[in-house]
Each structure stands twice: as structure tokens, then as C-alpha cells.
Amino acid sequence: MYRRQGGALEVLLVHPGGPFWRHKDFGAWSIPKGGFGEGEDAESAARREFAEELGGAAIGPLEALGEVRQRGGKRVTAFALEGDLDVAAIRSNAFELEWPPRSGRIQTYPEVDRAGWFGLAEAHDKILASQRPFLDRLVASLGGGDGKP
């Protein structure tokens, strides 16, 4: 999701929940994303994951931003959506994890522990390195280096 604030382009990024990501910031944020369900197309999966991770629907036309391959081999297909979202009101789905490892204690964590709006320069620093091309593709799709059509 992206928006224009005071003439500047901002993008919505999410921070992963759980103990591994707790103290990581730069290079740790992501676009809302997840796996495809059986028989699910990319656009439907993107809308579902957005709702699961943020608690609200992705309403409006999606513009394809292509695919990247992350360092671990996972392929991510992204879409752009112009809109606005109150990041203080997100509600994420949860996952269970044995933590600490080999402790036998299963704990529940939100898949996304926070979301934020970032200008392009800050987003470039915050987002996973493998997802940075999506920022460039978004700017190109909007017609300029400053995010202004």
C-alpha cells in the first residue's frame, strides 16, 4: 500500500512478530506477504494476506510489481495499492512457536507486531534487501523518481 502525504510518497511496511525479529529494525521490515493457498491466484493471495496481517481489506485495484527471489529462495510476488491505513489499529493473525528453543514451551506471537508508513529513503533502509526492487518498481509505475506522477 502506498499513499501521498504532503506531496511525498509513503509506503506501508510491516515488522514481523516473534522473538527472532524483536530487536531487528533496519533490513527487517517487509511488505505484507505470505504463501498461496491451493488453487489461489497471486492477487487473491495478496488480498488475503493483507487482511490476515493487518486486519483490514485491501480494497481497490492492484497493480502488479512483479516478483523477486529472497535470499532463502522464497519467491515473492507484489502488488501496489493506493490507500490509507491506521497503523495503530492493525490486528494481525498469530502463530505458535516453541520458545526458547527445545524448552517445550509453546508461545503465541503475532505474525506482524507493528506497521508503519515510511518515506522512500527510510523505507529503503527498513525493508528486506531482497524486496527493495519493489520500491523502485512502484516509483517507476507512478512515473518518477520522487513518486509523483
- pLDDT at residue 146 is higher than 60: no
State pLDDT tens for residues 4-55: 999 899 999 999 999 999 999 999 999 999 888 899 999 999 999 999 999 9
**15 domain-assigned:** yes
**137 domain-assigned:** yes
- pLDDT at residue 149 is higher than 50: no
Question: Residue 121: pLDDT band by 50, 70, 90 thresholds?
Answer: very high
Q: What pLDDT sits at residue 145? A: 55
The domain that holds 105 is classified in CATH as: 3.90.79.10
Q: What pLDDT sits at residue 36? A: 87
Q: What is the mean pLDDT of residues 125-140?
A: 97
**149 domain-assigned:** no
Q: What pLDDT sits at residue 63? A: 97
**35 domain-assigned:** yes
**47 domain-assigned:** yes
Q: What pLDDT sits at residue 37? A: 84
CA distances for 13 relative to 52, 65, 69, angstroms: 14, 15, 18
* Cβ contacts of 21-29, under 8 Å, gap ≥ 24: 21/113, 25/126, 26/125, 26/126, 27/125, 27/126, 27/127, 27/128, 27/129, 28/126, 28/128, 29/116, 29/118, 29/123, 29/126, 29/127, 29/128
**135 domain-assigned:** yes
**79 domain-assigned:** yes
Look at the chain and report how many structural domains it folds into.
1
**147 domain-assigned:** no
State pLDDT tens for residues 56-96: 999 999 999 999 998 888 899 999 999 999 999 999 999 99
- pLDDT at residue 110 is higher than 70: yes
- pLDDT at residue 108 is higher than 60: yes
* Domain housing 95: 2-142
Q: What is the mean pLDDT of residues 96-112?
A: 96
